[in-house]
Amino acid sequence: MFKTLTLLTLSIVLVSSVYKEKTYAVGQIKTPKGEILFQLYDETPNHKASFIKLANQHYWDTLTFNRVINNFVAQGGCPDTPAGFSDSPYLLKPEFRKEIRHIYGAVGAGRDNNPEMLSAGCQFYIVQNKNGLARLDDKFTVFGQVFKGMDVVDAITAVKTDSLDAPLSPISLKVSVIQLTAKELREKGYKPR
Protein backbone atom coordinates (compact mmCIF):
# COMPACT_ATOMS: atom_id res chain seq x y z
CA MET A 1 0.00 0.00 0.00
CA PHE A 2 2.76 2.46 0.95
CA LYS A 3 4.65 1.65 -2.26
CA THR A 4 1.48 2.30 -4.34
CA LEU A 5 0.87 5.68 -2.66
CA THR A 6 4.50 6.68 -3.14
CA LEU A 7 4.35 5.78 -6.85
CA LEU A 8 1.04 7.65 -7.22
CA THR A 9 2.48 10.76 -5.53
CA LEU A 10 5.60 10.60 -7.67
CA SER A 11 3.47 10.25 -10.82
CA ILE A 12 1.40 13.32 -9.90
CA VAL A 13 4.56 15.36 -9.27
CA LEU A 14 6.08 14.27 -12.59
CA VAL A 15 2.90 14.93 -14.58
CA SER A 16 2.42 18.37 -13.04
CA SER A 17 6.03 19.34 -13.82
CA VAL A 18 5.69 18.15 -17.44
CA TYR A 19 2.42 20.06 -17.94
CA LYS A 20 3.56 23.30 -16.37
CA GLU A 21 1.43 26.13 -17.74
CA LYS A 22 3.11 28.42 -20.26
CA THR A 23 3.96 31.90 -19.04
CA TYR A 24 4.53 35.11 -20.95
CA ALA A 25 7.17 37.76 -20.29
CA VAL A 26 5.48 41.00 -19.29
CA GLY A 27 7.17 44.36 -18.91
CA GLN A 28 6.20 46.13 -15.71
CA ILE A 29 6.86 49.84 -15.17
CA LYS A 30 6.01 51.28 -11.78
CA THR A 31 5.83 55.07 -11.57
CA PRO A 32 4.52 57.55 -8.97
CA LYS A 33 1.43 57.82 -11.21
CA GLY A 34 0.73 54.06 -11.27
CA GLU A 35 1.67 50.78 -12.92
CA ILE A 36 2.02 50.01 -16.64
CA LEU A 37 2.02 46.41 -17.94
CA PHE A 38 2.87 45.33 -21.48
CA GLN A 39 3.47 42.11 -23.35
CA LEU A 40 6.90 41.69 -24.92
CA TYR A 41 6.67 40.36 -28.47
CA ASP A 42 8.38 37.12 -29.50
CA GLU A 43 8.50 38.54 -33.05
CA THR A 44 11.21 41.01 -31.97
CA PRO A 45 13.53 38.63 -30.09
CA ASN A 46 16.60 40.89 -29.81
CA HIS A 47 14.65 43.87 -28.46
CA LYS A 48 12.72 41.58 -26.10
CA ALA A 49 15.93 40.00 -24.80
CA SER A 50 17.54 43.42 -24.40
CA PHE A 51 14.58 44.77 -22.40
CA ILE A 52 14.58 41.68 -20.15
CA LYS A 53 18.35 41.91 -19.63
CA LEU A 54 18.33 45.58 -18.66
CA ALA A 55 15.23 45.20 -16.46
CA ASN A 56 16.86 42.29 -14.61
CA GLN A 57 19.97 44.45 -14.11
CA HIS A 58 17.73 47.25 -12.67
CA TYR A 59 19.21 49.53 -15.34
CA TRP A 60 16.25 51.94 -15.42
CA ASP A 61 15.54 52.07 -11.68
CA THR A 62 17.44 55.35 -11.21
CA LEU A 63 16.12 56.92 -14.42
CA THR A 64 12.93 58.74 -15.42
CA PHE A 65 10.48 59.39 -18.22
CA ASN A 66 12.76 62.06 -19.68
CA ARG A 67 10.59 63.17 -22.63
CA VAL A 68 6.79 63.30 -22.57
CA ILE A 69 4.63 64.86 -25.27
CA ASN A 70 0.85 64.81 -25.01
CA ASN A 71 -0.81 63.11 -27.99
CA PHE A 72 2.56 61.62 -28.99
CA VAL A 73 4.72 59.51 -26.61
CA ALA A 74 6.02 58.99 -23.09
CA GLN A 75 9.74 58.23 -23.47
CA GLY A 76 12.04 56.88 -20.79
CA GLY A 77 15.52 55.58 -20.22
CA CYS A 78 18.78 57.19 -21.24
CA PRO A 79 18.38 60.76 -22.43
CA ASP A 80 18.91 61.61 -26.07
CA THR A 81 21.60 64.26 -26.47
CA PRO A 82 22.77 66.39 -29.42
CA ALA A 83 25.39 63.67 -29.97
CA GLY A 84 22.75 60.93 -30.03
CA PHE A 85 22.36 58.19 -27.46
CA SER A 86 25.91 58.44 -26.18
CA ASP A 87 25.03 56.78 -22.85
CA SER A 88 23.35 53.71 -24.35
CA PRO A 89 25.12 50.49 -23.30
CA TYR A 90 24.73 49.15 -26.88
CA LEU A 91 22.74 49.54 -30.11
CA LEU A 92 20.34 47.01 -31.66
CA LYS A 93 19.62 46.26 -35.31
CA PRO A 94 16.03 47.10 -36.30
CA GLU A 95 13.38 44.40 -36.12
CA PHE A 96 10.58 45.92 -38.18
CA ARG A 97 7.48 43.72 -38.57
CA LYS A 98 4.60 44.48 -40.94
CA GLU A 99 2.10 42.96 -38.49
CA ILE A 100 3.31 45.15 -35.58
CA ARG A 101 2.45 48.83 -35.91
CA HIS A 102 2.66 52.02 -33.85
CA ILE A 103 -0.86 51.85 -32.42
CA TYR A 104 -2.06 53.40 -29.14
CA GLY A 105 -0.08 51.68 -26.38
CA ALA A 106 2.70 50.32 -28.61
CA VAL A 107 6.06 50.10 -26.85
CA GLY A 108 9.00 50.98 -29.10
CA ALA A 109 12.75 51.46 -28.97
CA GLY A 110 14.16 54.97 -29.30
CA ARG A 111 16.96 55.85 -31.65
CA ASP A 112 18.80 58.86 -32.97
CA ASN A 113 19.14 59.73 -36.68
CA ASN A 114 21.73 57.04 -37.46
CA PRO A 115 21.41 55.78 -41.05
CA GLU A 116 21.22 52.10 -40.02
CA MET A 117 18.15 52.89 -37.83
CA LEU A 118 19.82 51.17 -34.87
CA SER A 119 17.85 51.30 -31.63
CA ALA A 120 19.37 52.52 -28.37
CA GLY A 121 19.29 49.59 -25.96
CA CYS A 122 18.40 51.91 -23.10
CA GLN A 123 15.60 53.98 -24.63
CA PHE A 124 11.93 53.02 -24.89
CA TYR A 125 8.71 54.91 -25.53
CA ILE A 126 4.98 54.28 -25.33
CA VAL A 127 2.69 55.62 -28.05
CA GLN A 128 0.07 57.85 -26.42
CA ASN A 129 -1.66 59.11 -29.58
CA LYS A 130 -5.07 57.38 -29.74
CA ASN A 131 -4.89 57.29 -33.56
CA GLY A 132 -1.44 55.70 -33.46
CA LEU A 133 1.70 57.03 -35.14
CA ALA A 134 1.85 55.36 -38.57
CA ARG A 135 4.65 57.73 -39.64
CA LEU A 136 6.97 55.86 -37.23
CA ASP A 137 6.21 52.42 -38.73
CA ASP A 138 9.25 50.72 -40.27
CA LYS A 139 11.47 53.46 -38.86
CA PHE A 140 11.41 52.51 -35.16
CA THR A 141 11.09 48.99 -33.74
CA VAL A 142 7.92 48.19 -31.78
CA PHE A 143 8.59 45.37 -29.32
CA GLY A 144 5.56 45.36 -27.02
CA GLN A 145 1.98 46.44 -26.35
CA VAL A 146 0.53 47.98 -23.18
CA PHE A 147 -2.53 46.12 -21.92
CA LYS A 148 -2.88 47.77 -18.51
CA GLY A 149 -2.01 51.30 -17.48
CA MET A 150 -2.70 53.49 -20.50
CA ASP A 151 -4.51 55.81 -18.09
CA VAL A 152 -1.13 56.13 -16.34
CA VAL A 153 0.61 56.93 -19.66
CA ASP A 154 -2.10 59.53 -20.38
CA ALA A 155 -1.46 61.11 -16.96
CA ILE A 156 2.31 61.12 -17.56
CA THR A 157 2.01 62.90 -20.92
CA ALA A 158 -0.31 65.49 -19.38
CA VAL A 159 2.26 66.82 -16.88
CA LYS A 160 3.94 70.21 -17.26
CA THR A 161 7.25 70.06 -19.09
CA ASP A 162 10.21 72.30 -19.90
CA SER A 163 11.29 73.41 -23.38
CA LEU A 164 12.93 69.98 -23.99
CA ASP A 165 9.69 68.12 -23.08
CA ALA A 166 11.15 66.86 -19.79
CA PRO A 167 8.64 66.77 -16.89
CA LEU A 168 9.19 69.64 -14.43
CA SER A 169 8.73 67.10 -11.62
CA PRO A 170 10.69 63.94 -12.52
CA ILE A 171 8.64 60.77 -13.07
CA SER A 172 10.78 57.91 -11.76
CA LEU A 173 10.85 54.40 -13.22
CA LYS A 174 11.01 51.00 -11.56
CA VAL A 175 11.19 48.51 -14.42
CA SER A 176 10.81 44.73 -14.03
CA VAL A 177 9.84 41.73 -16.09
CA ILE A 178 7.23 39.44 -14.58
CA GLN A 179 5.87 36.12 -15.85
CA LEU A 180 2.10 35.73 -16.24
CA THR A 181 0.02 32.81 -17.50
CA ALA A 182 -2.54 33.24 -20.29
CA LYS A 183 -5.28 33.16 -17.64
CA GLU A 184 -3.58 35.89 -15.58
CA LEU A 185 -3.15 38.00 -18.72
CA ARG A 186 -6.84 37.63 -19.61
CA GLU A 187 -7.81 38.60 -16.05
CA LYS A 188 -5.82 41.80 -16.55
CA GLY A 189 -7.60 42.45 -19.85
CA TYR A 190 -5.15 41.10 -22.42
CA LYS A 191 -5.32 38.16 -24.80
CA PRO A 192 -1.82 36.78 -25.50
CA ARG A 193 -0.63 36.77 -29.12
Q: Which tens digits make up the pLDDT trace of 35-89?
A: 999 999 999 999 999 999 999 999 999 899 999 999 999 999 876 555 545 567 7
Domain membership of residue 1 (yes or no) is no
Q: Find the domain containing 105 and state its range.
A: 23-188
> At 159, which CATH number?
2.40.100.10
Domain membership of residue 93 (yes or no) is yes
Q: Are strands 106-109 and 142-148 parallel, antiparallel or unpaired?
A: antiparallel
DSSP class of residue 55 equals: H
CB 125 within 8 A of CB 77: no
Between 147 and 90, residue with greater pLDDT: 147
Domain membership of residue 45 (yes or no) is yes
pLDDT, tens digit, 9 for 90 and up, residues 137-172: 999 999 999 999 999 999 999 999 999 999 999 999
Domain membership of residue 8 (yes or no) is no
Cα 67 to Cα 147: distance, rounded to the nearest angstrom? 22
Domain membership of residue 70 (yes or no) is yes
Domain membership of residue 126 (yes or no) is yes
- Judged against a pLDDT cut of 60, whether residue 2 lies above it is answered with no
Note the pTM of the prediction, 2 decimals. Answer: 0.85
Domain membership of residue 42 (yes or no) is yes
Domain membership of residue 5 (yes or no) is no
Question: What total number of domains does the chain contain?
Answer: 1
E strand or H helix that includes residue 174: strand 174-181
Of 133, 85, 67, which Cα lies nearest the Cα of 106?
133
- Judged against a pLDDT cut of 80, whether residue 115 lies above it is answered with yes
